[in-house]
């Protein structure tokens, strides 16, 4: 992400506590071994409830995309791993202008990392020939779904509607392609199910999405399973 201003106005600092985190602090915090372990787990979820323009989420994405690349032996596998990494990152931000920047910064980072990865995987071929347009379209869908405008405290967006999030449940591979099912929940339902059990150490992960038995009833929308590279099609799915 390009260097951004840390403060937009003193008014916003006063009313929203809006001070963005400098890059070196973000890096220092993400270098903690407990965080690195989660970054190395491609599907381990991260939620930033006051995401700003994405200081943390963009850097986590950059690091997870590196992991995705090192786990991949083909362009197709890299596309899937890159999308798994992206699908694990969630953000909530109150201010509409920040959400716009957040979405743009996540898109930019995904594209930058994806193209760099393709170069490294197959440097002799032109990257434009290797690019899977479906990966790029699905990346946009994932970012649009996972970066929510809203108030993390009231769990409502600016229309007064519940903040919604999608779980991208991995179903395994078929013919070399990762399959996924999109399941939609209200943020409120996610919080209610995630509260138990309470972690015993500050570093223990509480999974964003509860185990299947507890959460089944709280699913608001269930989409038809599809290939991960085709999740962009779930945007237009009429249920």
Ligand X SMILES: C[S@@+](CC[C@H](N)C(=O)[O-])C[C@H]1O[C@@H](n2cnc3c(N)ncnc32)[C@H](O)[C@@H]1O
Residues that bind ligand X (CB under 6 A): 16-21, 48, 50-52, 55-56, 92-95, 98, 151-153
Q: How far is the CB of 93 from ligand X (least distance, A)?
A: 5
Q: Angle at the Cα of 95 (from 94 to 101), degrees rounded to 5?
A: 115
Strand partners, 147: 91
* Cα–Cα distance measured from residue 117 to residue 130, given in angstroms and rounded to the nearest whole number: 11
The encoded tokens of residue 31 equal 């270098």
Q: How far is the CB of 181 from ligand X (least distance, A)?
A: 28
* Cα–Cα distance measured from residue 2 to residue 48, given in angstroms and rounded to the nearest whole number: 20
Q: How far is the CB of 53 from ligand X (least distance, A)?
A: 7
The H or E element that residue 116 is part of is helix 96-121
Comparing CB distances to ligand X, the nearer of 53 and 80 is: 53
Comparing CB distances to ligand X, the nearer of 74 and 154 is: 154
- How many residues make up the chain in this entry? 239
Q: Which one-letter DSSP state was computed for residue 133?
A: H
Alpha-carbon dihedral angle through residues 188, 189, 192, 194, given to the nearest 10 degrees: -110
Comparing CB distances to ligand X, the nearer of 106 and 118 is: 106
Comparing CB distances to ligand X, the nearer of 51 and 226 is: 51
Q: Report how far apart, in Å, the C-alpha atoms of 214 and of each of 27, 46, 84, 105, 199 are.
A: 36, 20, 23, 34, 18
Q: How far is the CB of 95 from ligand X (least distance, A)?
A: 4
Comparing CB distances to ligand X, the nearer of 35 and 170 is: 35
Q: How far is the CB of 191 from ligand X (least distance, A)?
A: 13
């Amino acid at each position: 992400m390009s260097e951004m201003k840390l403060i937009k106005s003193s008014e916003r600092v006063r009313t929203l506590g809006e001070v963005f985190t400098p890059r070196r602090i973000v890096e220092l915090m993400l270098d903690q071994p407990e965080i690195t372990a989660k970054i190395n787990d491609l599907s381990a979820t991260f939620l930033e409830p006051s995401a700003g323009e994405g200081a943390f989420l963009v850097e986590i994405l950059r690091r997870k995309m590196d992991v995705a690349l090192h786990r991949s032996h083909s362009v197709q596998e890299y596309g899937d791993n890159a999308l798994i990494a992206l699908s694990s990152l969630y953000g909530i931000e109150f201010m509409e202008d920040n959400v716009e920047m957040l979405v743009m910064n996540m898109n930019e980072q995904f594209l930058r990392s994806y193209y760099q990865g393709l170069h490294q995987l197959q440097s002799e071929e032109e990257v434009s020939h290797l690019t899977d347009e479906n990966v790029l379209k699905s990346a946009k869908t994932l970012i649009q779904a996972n970066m929510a405008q809203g108030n993390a405290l009231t769990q409502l967006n600016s229309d007064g509607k519940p903040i919604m999030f999608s779980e991208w449940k991995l179903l395994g591979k078929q013919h070399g392609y990762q399959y996924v099912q999109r399941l939609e929940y209200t943020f409120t339902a996610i919080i209610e199910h995630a509260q138990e059990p309470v972690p015993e150490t500050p570093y223990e992960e509480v999974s964003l999405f509860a185990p299947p038995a507890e959460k089944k009833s709280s699913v608001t929308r269930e989409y038809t399973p599809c290939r991960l590279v085709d999740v962009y099609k779930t945007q237009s799915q009429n249920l």
